[in-house]
Amino acid sequence: MESINFDHRLIFEKLNKFQPKELNIPELKKSAILIPIYPKVKSFHILMTARSRKLNHHRGEMSFPGGKFDSSSDITLKDTALRETYEEIGIHKNNIDVLGSLDDFPTFTGYTIRPYIGVIKNLDKINIKINQNEVSDLVKIPIEFLVRENLFTEIPFSNKSGKILYVLSFNFIDPITKKKFTIWGASAHILTRFLKRAYNLKVTSDKYHRPSLNIIKEFQNQM
């Protein structure tokens, strides 16, 4: 597949015209993430993190920098995404150009996620400081990899009652370290939303549909 050019202005305009759906559901905790874009000469990479195995929840899983809204330090959810990015991988908000956000995303684990898209400026000159207590690896995924045909598959995910829902998943092998990473669930789905919003690319099968909010809430109550 040909390179997908990174057009800063075009993506900003698309996101600026877009009115994200905000979810205000008392029983779901608010959180935010950053989808970090690393521009290259003719294309770009998406940065993702592998969560440390020292963590109590989602240990070892692939995610984006982010976390829970903290009213003691955050005014907005964008503040949350930028603060967590700095805490996890050491990239300061002054080195991030936030282009906009996507729809709020409800999870099976009791959160709503606000995904922000941000361009990392001069990444090659930044001294990345990974917080080893939270992150084990920082992974750069080329955009060309994400738009491969049939990359995203659907896998079953069950709760304690045995109810099964299907979530998106794909594997990525880092060309330098040769480590294999599995990206699934919320992180995989948010990536498909970004590709659809920024480039009008549909990378899932026609039969795939994200479960409704009511189904997610019912599923979450039985986790």
Residue 220 pLDDT > 80, yes or no?
Answer: no
Identify the pLDDT of residue 55. Answer: 60
199 in any annotated domain: yes
174 in any annotated domain: yes
3 in any annotated domain: no
Residue 130 pLDDT > 70, yes or no?
Answer: yes
161 in any annotated domain: yes
**For residues 186-204, average pLDDT:** 90
38 in any annotated domain: yes
Identify the pLDDT of residue 57. Answer: 61
For 136-183, what is each residue's pLDDT tens digit?
899 999 999 998 888 999 988 887 777 788 889 999 999 999 999 999
For 52-65, what is each residue's pLDDT tens digit?
766 656 556 899 99
207 in any annotated domain: yes
The 10 Å Cβ neighbour count of residue 138 is 17
**For residues 190-205, average pLDDT:** 89
Higher pLDDT, 9 or 97: 97
Identify the pLDDT of residue 1. Answer: 46
133 in any annotated domain: yes
pLDDT band at residue 68, thresholds of 50, 70 and 90?
very high
Total tally of structural domains belonging to the chain? 1
Entry pTM: 0.89
CATH number at residue 118: 3.90.79.10
For 12-48, what is each residue's pLDDT tens digit?
888 888 888 999 988 899 999 999 999 887 789 999 9
28: containing domain: 8-220
2 in any annotated domain: no
